[in-house]
């Protein structure tokens, strides 16, 4: 159980994963502050029980003001579209890497000793077919993954030099309610938006990629468990541990919607690995975390959310 009234900050708390995490933190009795510049998040997604600040983690004066008495920082603010990173790499390193360093510097000044970070499975080299473990080779194949991994190294340095404990959670393919990415490029929201609008559903690589989809509430629970543990600097995979061919996920969506999807073959897409499935033994052993929601049930909840959003019955 969380301590009552523990004061925490969630950067990116108006985004997809962040807004789900904020809700669960509020449910658990935390005092939650949210910082988001709303570049890809939405204030309406933020739980009303949380205190919201609009702004950037690059704003040191704002950070110094709102980080008073904060015990834990959940750092989810980032630019997260892989395809955009292929055309604007410098922006990714500035936002995901350098702004993260600015956040750690303010934490150091304020004496805050715990950071839980939303890292990415894009840190790996994408070459291994079998489930990927934390000890397996890293070597990002796109600037997004490189920017996320680079900040992990900074976290390690800040723990060893300044005693700021850090947990980097390498998320695999997260899906679920509140994923309202502008100009959606993540597969499930992109597919559902097209399907519910009666449009052709775009897909890549003929659906022959194997992915590990993990429900957003499970991911939020992993972040909360990480905040309750003391373990120096650690890295954990957060995924379902089960791989699904993308074409099979499309067929499950088709089955649940009870419609015949018109698929639009978009060919290959730069920056995509062929396989990405998590080995979750470490996070199970050290954090006691396991996903609770399987893909069928997770898709059911996600589809319900999107039908409501698009006012579909």
Q: Please name which of 122, 121, 168, 118 lies closest in space to residue 143, comparing C-alpha atoms.
A: 122
pTM: 0.93
The pLDDT value recorded for residue 81 is 72
Residue 82 domain-assigned? Answer: yes
The pLDDT value recorded for residue 2 is 44
* Residues spanned by the domain of 82: 7-173+216-239+277-292
The pLDDT value recorded for residue 231 is 77
* Antiparallel, parallel or unpaired: β 31-36 and 7-11: parallel
The pLDDT value recorded for residue 130 is 76
The pLDDT value recorded for residue 90 is 87
- Which position has the token pair 């052709």? 200
The pLDDT value recorded for residue 269 is 81
CATH code of 133's domain: 3.40.50.720
CA distances from 281 to 75, 134, 135, 273, 289 (A): 24, 10, 12, 22, 9
Residue 265 domain-assigned? Answer: no
Q: Please name which of 227, 289, 221, 287 lies closest in space to residue 75, comparing C-alpha atoms.
A: 227
**Tokens of residue 138, six digits:** 């890293």
**Tokens of residue 27, six digits:** 């449910």
Counted domains in the chain: 1
Which SS3 state, helix, strand or coil, does residue 10 take? strand
Residue 144 domain-assigned? Answer: yes
Residue 254 domain-assigned? Answer: no
Residue 252 domain-assigned? Answer: no
The pLDDT value recorded for residue 274 is 80
Question: Catalytic positions, please?
Answer: 144
| 162: enclosing H helix or E strand | helix 143-162
Strand (E) positions, 200-260?
Answer: 201-203, 210-211, 213-215, 233-238, 244-245
Per-residue model confidence as pLDDT tens for the chain (313 residues): 444 569 999 999 999 999 999 999 999 999 999 999 999 899 999 999 999 999 999 999 999 999 999 999 999 998 877 777 788 888 888 889 999 999 999 999 999 999 999 999 999 987 766 799 999 999 988 889 999 999 999 999 999 999 999 999 999 999 999 998 776 678 999 999 999 999 999 999 899 999 999 999 999 999 999 999 887 999 999 999 999 999 999 999 999 999 999 999 999 887 777 888 999 999 999 999 999 999 999 999 999 999 998 774 3
Residue 229 domain-assigned? Answer: yes
CA distances from 209 to 165, 185, 247, 249 (A): 35, 16, 8, 11
Cβ pair 146, 90 in contact under 8 A: no
| 169 Cβ contact list (under 8 Å, min separation 6) | 116, 117, 118, 119, 219, 222, 223, 226, 236, 238
Cβ pair 23, 1 in contact under 8 A: no
Interatomic CA distance for residues 151 and 240, integer angstroms: 24
| 102: enclosing H helix or E strand | helix 99-110
Residue 163 domain-assigned? Answer: yes
Interatomic CA distance for residues 298 and 177, integer angstroms: 9
**Tokens of residue 53, six digits:** 């600040």
Residue 2 domain-assigned? Answer: no
The pLDDT value recorded for residue 129 is 67
């Amino acid at each position: 159980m969380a301590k009552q009234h523990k004061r925490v900050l969630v950067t990116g708390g108006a985004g997809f994963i962040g807004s789900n995490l904020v809700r669960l933190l509020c449910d658990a009795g935390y005092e939650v502050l949210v910082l988001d510049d709303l570049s890809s998040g939405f204030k309406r997604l933020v739980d009303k029980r949380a205190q919201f600040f609009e702004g950037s983690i690059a704003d040191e004066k704002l950070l110094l003001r709102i980080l008073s008495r904060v015990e834990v920082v959940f750092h989810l603010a980032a630019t997260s579209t892989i395809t955009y990173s292929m055309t604007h790499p410098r922006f990714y390193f500035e936002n995901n890497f350098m702004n993260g360093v600015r956040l750690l510097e303010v934490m150091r000044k304020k004496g805050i000793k715990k950071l839980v970070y939303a890292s990415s499975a894009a840190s790996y080299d994408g070459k291994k077919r079998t489930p990927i473990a934390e000890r397996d080779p890293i070597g990002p194949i796109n600037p997004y993954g490189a920017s996320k991994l680079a900040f992990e190294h900074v976290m390690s340095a800040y723990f060893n030099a300044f005693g700021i404990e850090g947990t980097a959670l390498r998320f695999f393919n997260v899906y679920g309610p509140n994923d309202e990415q502008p100009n959606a490029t993540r597969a499930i929201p992109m597919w559902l938006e097209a399907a519910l609008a009666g449009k052709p559903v775009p897909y890549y690589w003929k659906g022959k990629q194997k992915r590990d989809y993990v429900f957003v509430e499970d991911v939020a629970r992993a972040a909360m468990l990480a905040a309750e543990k003391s373990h120096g600097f650690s890295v954990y995979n957060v995924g379902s541990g089960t791989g699904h061919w993308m074409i099979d996920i499309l067929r499950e969506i088709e089955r649940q919607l009870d419609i015949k999807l018109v698929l639009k073959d978009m060919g290959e897409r730069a920056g995509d690995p062929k396989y990405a499935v998590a080995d979750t033994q470490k996070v199970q052993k050290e954090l006691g975390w396991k996903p609770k929601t399987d893909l069928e049930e997770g898709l059911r909840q996600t589809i319900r959310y999107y039908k409501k959003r698009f006012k579909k019955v």
